[in-house]
Homo-oligomer: A and B are copies of this chain.
Amino acid sequence: MNFPKRIQINEVVLRDGLQLEKKIVSVKEKKMLFDQLVKARLETIEFGSFVHPRLVPQMANSGELYSLISDEYKLLTMIALIPNLKGAVNAYSHGVKQVNFVFSASDTHNLQNVHKRTEESLKELETIQAFCTQKNIELNVSIATTFGCPFEGEVPTERIKSVLTKVISMHVKTITLADTTGMANPQQVYDLLVSLRSDFPEQKFNLHFHNTRGMGLSNILAGMQAGVDSYDTSLGGLGGCPFAPGATGNVCTEDVVHMLHSMGIETGLSLDELITASETLTKIVEHETPSYIRKAGPYNRKYPIPTTIK
């Protein structure tokens, strides 16, 4: 098994992670969480999204949050998700320096999510790209339902490659391939990424897995074996797309980091601080999270030997 020696973790709890939460998390709480993420040495954080506040109320305070963090953490990569040009304009008006434009590889999910066919979103990407270039905003792209669509099922590899060819021609920074509803399996991840990295050797890929069917960590293992060294993860394993039926949490940051560290793979992060941040998160959202490591502790936790052996 060959793995990259170091993995980059992009924290998405403040965006994808909170999307399905019933309790609206305040700017103050989000700022507190952000501070703890920085303490755990996270350097790339998706902090929110500029979408219609009626559709995703949890994200309505993203601009306000950015104004609280942008001065303090100038050196961090703070990314806002945008679903369209309006989102890009809105992000720009708040001074955001880096955006992540999301659309789906499958028409049906893209229609659900942003009311457009994939082809229409690709057209809009051209306009967004022109806008970002003009305003000096760094542009990333996320392609949802890359590993399967909850409505259509399998998304053909040829379709993914055709979409990618168009996106790559626009010279975006990072392309995230997202498994929106946890349909990917390790063999599929490995085969697709080996093929894509061979077809597009210059492009930086980032992978985004949901743990809906328990395969999140296994898919990261497969992605690493295909040579991918960058992953989205969400503190506490929270998350899910509000417009994808059956969506559940992202792969959990502290569980991923724990696995990588136990395998001798570096992330640059502090697992202890991540666990502390995850505890704060549980208090904020007021319910248990799918995190394993927050509950079990790391593998090298030693228990005291009971004094009475029955």
Query: A residues touching B (Cβ–Cβ < 8 Å)?
Result: 1, 3, 55, 108, 111-112, 115, 148, 150-154, 182-188, 190, 211-215, 217-218, 221-222, 225, 245-246, 248, 252, 255, 258-259, 262-264, 292-293, 296-306, 309-310
In this complex, the member of A185, A211, A213, A302 whose beta carbon has the largest number of chain B beta carbons within 10 angstroms is: A213
Whole-angstrom distance between the alpha carbons of A240 and B297 in the complex?
16
Instruction: Assess the A215–B185 pair: CB atoms within 8 A.
Output: no
Q: B185 near A222 (CB under 8 angstroms)?
A: no
A292 touches B185 (CB 8 A): no
In Å, the complex CA distance between A20 and B131 comes to 59
A3 nearest CB neighbor, chain B only? B187
Closest chain-B Cβ to A225's Cβ sits at a distance in Å of 6
User: How close is A221's CB to chain B, nearest CB, in angstroms?
Assistant: 5
The CA of A304 and the CA of B244, in the complex, are separated in Å by 11
Give the contacting residue for A309; candidates B115, B150, B218, B309; CB below 8 A. B115
Are A263 and B186 CB-contacts (below 8 A) given A221-B218, A248-B296? yes
Q: List 16 contacting pairs A-B, 8 Å CB cutoff, sorted by A.
A: A55-B310, A150-B302, A150-B303, A151-B305, A185-B263, A188-B262, A212-B292, A212-B296, A213-B255, A213-B258, A213-B296, A218-B218, A246-B296, A246-B297, A246-B303, A248-B296
A221's nearest neighbour on chain B, judged by CB, is: B218
The verdict on A309 contacting B111 (CB below 8 Å), with A183-B299, A187-B1, A296-B246 known, is yes
Asked whether, in the complex, the Cβ of B221 is within 8 Å of the Cβ of A305, the reply is no
**A112 adjacent to B303 (CB under 8 Å):** no
Using CB atoms, name the residue of chain B closest to A217. B218
Q: How far is the CB of A81 from chain B (nearest CB, A)?
A: 19
Residues of B within 8 Å of A263, CB to CB, are 185-188
